[in-house]
């Protein structure tokens, strides 16, 4: 099985073995059997946040294909199997008059991966509405229910993502959504502007969904075979969170380069910290939309023509080439601003 065919960026060599698990029992059995034999395991959802080595994966890839969405318990509570397509989950909750996921429309992948990096966009994060995650623990071989506060959620991270041993397999996710046709208050200025409302206003959830999808399409952030800029893993770098000293250093470097008028954009990240858009740092370090040297080590990989933060496979790229481009950008930003960018996707068999 060629993993390039199962990743949205179209990269990755072969897997030694491949199992598609359609039920929780099949999923647990596949993982437990591999673990018992000392076989490395890679859990695959929609392959939209994975960069896999050209050499592939020397072990068993288990694709999560479980299905099911149930409204249970309290009104607004929805439990979703890990293998459900995420955007279909969002659409379905809105169709059932539930709000809280509308800004996460158009994000590719499966529901079970959403807690892994605490998927977020346009002012919403899944951690705001997840009440619990049902997991299989590969060490104890038990199935357990983790409440939200045990998941270690942070900005684009969780304890699942931080655990390099990938001990926990997500079987299902439970969300508590608001019952009613209106969206959660719109938090993101760009989205509020597109909707023609003020930040903090509510709009019909389905309108918020349409606006989000339109904004995302313009940035190549909705998978579309006809859009070569969507052959990516989404944002390649996480927006760095800086303390006052690091921000001051960025401001000094930016003024030295672009003059005293320049203002470094930032968003409050709490505790005296700010989030600075990685896209701004990348562009200002000299890597604009569409950048991608041909003929060099990164041949075939380039920055999206629509969104500076997405690295795309223009069709002929290799994983080695993508990583070479990512390194060049990371080093360029570090040399210019002293900020070390970290990759957002999970890297398998490669490192930056
Ligand atoms: C065009 C595009 C736009 C994107 N936009 C956004 C965005 O706006 N916001 C955002 O946060 N992300 C975004 N992403 C990234 C990605 O879509 C999300 O991270 C998504 O949740 C990944 O889901 P997946 O099923 O494809 O996971 P995969 O890529 O298959 O896996 C990602 C990681 O999760 C692990 N994993 C997957 N399923 C399970 C499971 N059931 N149990 C345990 N581990 C598991 C895998 O082993 C791997 O380590 C975007 C990606 C693309 C290509």
Q: Determine the distance separating the centroid of ligand 1 and the alpha carbon of 106, expressed in angstroms.
A: 12
Q: Torsion angle of alpha carbons 151, 157, 162, 165, nearest 10°?
A: 80
Cβ atoms of residues 100 and 116 within 8 Å: no
Query: The pTM is what?
Result: 0.95
Q: Determine the distance separating the centroid of ligand 1 and the alpha carbon of 205, expressed in angstroms.
A: 23
Strands (E), the chain: 15-21, 41-44, 50-52, 57-64, 69-71, 77-81, 98-99, 120-121, 124-125, 130-137, 142-147, 168-176, 178-179, 232-235, 241-242, 267-268, 274-275, 301-303, 310-313, 346-348
Ligand 1 neighbours (beta carbon < 6 A): 8, 42-50, 64, 82, 107-110, 112-114, 116-117, 119-121, 169-170, 221, 223, 230, 232-234, 346
Cβ atoms of residues 313 and 232 within 8 Å: yes
The catalytic residues are: 156, 235, 344
CA 88 – CA 105 distance, rounded (Å): 9
- Label residue 188 exposed, middle or buried (CB < 10 Å: 0-12, 13-18, 19+): middle
pLDDT tens per residue, range 55-65: 999 999 999 99
Q: Which of 309, 317, 319 is nearest to 348 (CA)?
A: 319
Q: Give the nearest ligand 1 atom to 346 CA.
A: 49
Q: Determine the distance separating the centroid of ligand 1 and the alpha carbon of 105, expressed in angstroms.
A: 14
Mean pLDDT to the nearest integer, 8-33: 98
pLDDT tens per residue, range 103-123: 999 999 999 999 999 999 999
As a whole number, the mean pLDDT across the chain is 96
pLDDT score recorded for residue 164: 84
Q: Which residue has the higher pLDDT, 51 or 164?
A: 51
Pocket test for ligand 1, best of 27, 57, 105, 108 (most atoms within 8 A of CB): 108
CA 310 – CA 324 distance, rounded (Å): 15
pLDDT tens per residue, range 267-302: 888 889 999 999 999 999 999 999 998 777 778 999
CA 172 – CA 185 distance, rounded (Å): 27
Cβ atoms of residues 110 and 69 within 8 Å: no
pLDDT score recorded for residue 297: 79
pLDDT score recorded for residue 299: 83
Angle at 202 between CA 198 and CA 204, to 5 degrees: 125
């Amino acid at each position: 099985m060629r993993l390039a065919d199962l990743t949205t960026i179209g990269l990755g060599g072969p897997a030694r073995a491949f199992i598609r698990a359609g039920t929780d029992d099949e999923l647990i059995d596949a993982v437990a059997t591999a673990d018992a034999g000392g076989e490395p395991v890679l859990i695959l959802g929609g392959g939209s946040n994975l960069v896999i080595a050209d050499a592939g994966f020397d072990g068993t890839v288990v694709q999560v294909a479980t299905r099911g969405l149930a409204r249970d318990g309290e009104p607004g509570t929805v439990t979703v199997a890990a293998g459900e397509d995420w955007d279909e989950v969002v659409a379905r909750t809105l169709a059932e008059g539930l709000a809280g996921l509308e800004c996460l429309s158009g994000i590719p992948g499966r529901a079970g991966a959403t807690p892994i990096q605490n998927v977020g966009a346009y002012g919403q994060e899944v951690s705001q509405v997840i009440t619990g995650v049902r997991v299989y623990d590969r060490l104890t071989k038990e199935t357990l229910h983790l409440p939200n506060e045990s998941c270690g959620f942070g900005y684009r991270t969780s304890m699942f993502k931080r655990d390099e041993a990938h001990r926990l397999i997500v079987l299902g996710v439970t969300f508590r959504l608001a019952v009613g046709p209106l969206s959660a208050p719109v938090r993101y200025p760009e989205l509020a502007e597109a909707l023609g409302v003020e930040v903090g206003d509510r709009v019909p959830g389905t309108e918020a969904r349409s606006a989000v999808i339109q904004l995302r399409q313009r940035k190549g952030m909705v998978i579309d075979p006809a859009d070569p800029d969507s052959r990516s893993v989404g944002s390649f770098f996480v927006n760095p969170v800086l303390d006052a000293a690091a921000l001051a250093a960025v401001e000094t470097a930016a003024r030295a380069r672009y003059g005293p008028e320049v203002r470094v954009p930032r968003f409050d990240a709490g505790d005296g910290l700010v989030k600075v858009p990685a896209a701004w740092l990348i562009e200002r370090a000299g890597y604009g939309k569409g950048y991608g040297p041909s003929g060099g080590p990164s041949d075939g990989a380039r920055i999206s023509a629509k969104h500076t933060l997405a690295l795309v496979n223009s069709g002929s790229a290799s994983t080695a080439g993508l990583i070479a481009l990512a390194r060049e950008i990371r080093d360029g930003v570090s040399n210019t601003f002293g900020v070390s960018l970290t990759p957002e996707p999970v890297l398998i068999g490669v490192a930056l």
